[in-house]
Amino acid sequence: MLDGITLGQYVPTESPIHNLDPRTKIISSVLLIVVLFLVEGFQGYLLIGLGILGIIAAARLPLGFVLKGLRPLRLILLITLLLHLFMTEGREIARLGPLVVTYEGFNKGVLMTLRLGLLVLATSLLTLTTSPIRLTDGLEDLLNPFKRVGLPAHELAMMMTIALRFIPTLFEETEKIMKAQKARGADFESGKLSQRAKNLVPLLVPLFVSAFRRADELAIAMEARCYRGGEGRTKLHTLQMTRADYLAILLLTAGVIVIAVVF
Amino acid sequence: MNVEKAIVVRNLSYTYQANTPLASPALRNVEMEVLPGQFVAIIGQTGSGKSTFIQHLNGLIPTGPGRIWIDGQDIGLKGTNLKGLRQKVGLVFQYPEHQVFEETVFADIAFGPKNQGYSGELLVEKVRRAMGLVQLDYDAFRERSPLELSGGQLRRVAIAGVLAMEPSIMILDEPTAGLDPKTRDEILEQIARLHSETGMTVLLVSHSMEEVARLADLVVVFHDGAIALQGPPRELFQRDAELTALGLGVPQIIRVMKGLVNQGIAVDTRVLTTQEAADQIIQRWHKNA
């Protein structure tokens, strides 16, 4: 059941994109997100879409696999489209009973759906090509300047690392418990919604118990290794920006400015 | 076809996360036949596909291209009654105590039969019988919270939870993992007794040869997702070189007997227990004297 989730999964392959510094990729994602909100026309989205396709190709990721990341969001995308389609006032182009489709609504709906879809694709590229450890390393480094105003950058990054590290573990655990209960005749797939919700209770109890147990054990293991926060801590792998990183940021910034100004 | 066999597996293969860059094959062309009432040990290193294999047997993982018959019924067919299948094939997962979730021992063991639609007197009867089979006193444990029980007791509760559904085939995935030697022996003893008392077909997954030597009629060795060797333990353990190459080794007592043979003392190496070995050695001694 949980096999099909590709959103946010790291795919370890060799590619120029994988080799970029995580900071480069984080900054690039932010730039992409910003430009997605600045652009208002189809041509702009077309260019950004092509850009993202280019990055997917450079990252040697199968296109179908990346697009599958949109599947969990298909309902949200559909609702966005429909809401804009029917709720925007303007010139009428079609009518479905009391529902009126307007030219403006059509435009806006398609644009919004595109914007959302591209947003998800752009951000999923970050996690698809960056291992969680490198991702949080990069984030910690980027947040460092904010330490002066009291932001616990290291602790935030550590929390994120741990959270990311345990997502697959919890998924696995859920699946295991589900299977054990299916083996005892539990039914998670059919029945009324209320019944299905009730069937989840036996799933959540052992899951929570084991999550707390894990958290406890992890805390003890960390203390046993003398973990005491980020103060004075050095890194095994220090991040290093290379020429490729500067080039990538430069290219992307240029592209983003052009698209933002022209469209 | 295959009516007289409890389990028939033909050409079973499985790949985790198939059609993605993360695909990893877990089973390759597995073929197996189990007779009713047989005690089968499934042995293999971690990651050899044992657990994936047994989850096919009660339909938790769909069969795919291969085919599986349970009591002569093809379980890969559309419209197979999965609930019925899971009642017939009881599966106890690794660390089953982690899956105990109810507030009392009774409620947890009753989970399975309740899902089958039992209630009232019949339900109580089923729970009582299951607890008897794992030698937990019904009146003493019925109202206790699982949190108060020892590891061994909790594991028995978990096993009883599956037994309460009265399966005709019982599969246990490393039922002794993480237990101390005394509790381990008790649980194994329990399984042996269950097998002889109820005549159930038992599949026991393990990575310890010692553990299964005494119990199993048939040992099946998994390696890298395929069956590498299989046979009755007495015969299988003679192939110690192959087993060692698979990272498994043979029970200590067989190593001792082989050592004696290498020293020129002609004892029969086809033993399973220390007692049999001792008898062999004494016999040999008398012959020489």
Question: Comparing A93-107, B3-17, B60-74, which segment has the lowest mean pLDDT?
Answer: A93-107
pLDDT band at A131 (very low <50, low <70, confident <90, very high): confident
Is residue A3 predicted with pLDDT exceeding 60?
no
pLDDT of residue A5: 54
Residues B7-108+167-247, CATH architecture: 3-Layer(aba) Sandwich (3.40)
- DSSP-derived letter for residue B202 is E
Is residue B1 predicted with pLDDT exceeding 70?
no
pLDDT digits (tens, 9 = 90+) for A34-83: 999 888 888 888 889 999 999 999 999 888 888 888 888 889 999 999 88
Q: Which of residues 64-103 of B touch A (CB under 8 A)?
A: 83, 86-87, 90-91, 93, 96, 98-102
Distance of CA B58 to the CA centre of its chain: 14
Kindly list the domain boundaries of chain B, sorted by start residue: 7-108+167-247, 251-289
- The answer to whether the Cβ–Cβ distance between A13 and B21 falls below 8 Å is yes
**Number of Cβ within a 10 Å radius of residue B105:** 28
**pLDDT, mean of residues B256-267:** 89
pLDDT digits (tens, 9 = 90+) for B127-175: 999 999 998 999 999 999 988 898 889 999 999 999 999 999 999 999 9
Instruction: Tell me how far apart the alpha carbons of residues A157 and A137 are, in angstroms, rounded to a whole number.
Output: 7
pLDDT of residue A1: 41
pLDDT of residue A7: 54
Establish if A179 touches chain B: CB-CB under 8 angstroms: yes
Residue A179 near residue B54, CB atoms below 8 Å: no
Is residue A188 classed as helix, strand or coil in its secondary structure? Answer: coil
pLDDT band at A222 (very low <50, low <70, confident <90, very high): very high
Is residue B3 predicted with pLDDT exceeding 60?
no
Closest by CA position to B160, among listed B126, B186, B184, B185: B126
Establish if A62 touches chain B: CB-CB under 8 angstroms: yes
CA–CA min distance B144, chain A (Å): 17
Out of B60, B116, B165, the one facing A179 most closely (by C-beta) is: B60
pLDDT digits (tens, 9 = 90+) for B175-188: 998 888 888 888 99
Establish if B116 touches chain A: CB-CB under 8 angstroms: yes
pLDDT band at B29 (very low <50, low <70, confident <90, very high): very high
* Contacts A180 to B, Cβ<8 Å: 91, 93, 96, 99
* Contacts A66 to B, Cβ<8 Å: none
Residue B10 near residue B66, CB atoms below 8 Å: yes
pLDDT digits (tens, 9 = 90+) for B195-241: 999 999 999 998 888 888 888 999 999 999 999 999 999 889 888 88
Is residue A114 predicted with pLDDT exceeding 80?
yes
- DSSP-derived letter for residue A234 is -
Instruction: Tell me how far apart the alpha carbons of residues B94 and B199 are, in angstroms, rounded to a whole number.
Output: 23
pLDDT of residue A9: 75
pLDDT of residue A259: 85
**pLDDT, mean of residues A8-12:** 78
pLDDT of residue B157: 93
* ipTM rounded to 2 decimals: 0.77
The edge-to-edge listing of strands for the beta sheet with B7-16 is B24-34, B7-16, B67-70, B73-74
**pLDDT, mean of residues B235-256:** 87
Is residue B269 classed as helix, strand or coil in its secondary structure? Answer: coil
* Contacts A205 to B, Cβ<8 Å: 101
Average pLDDT over chain A reads 86
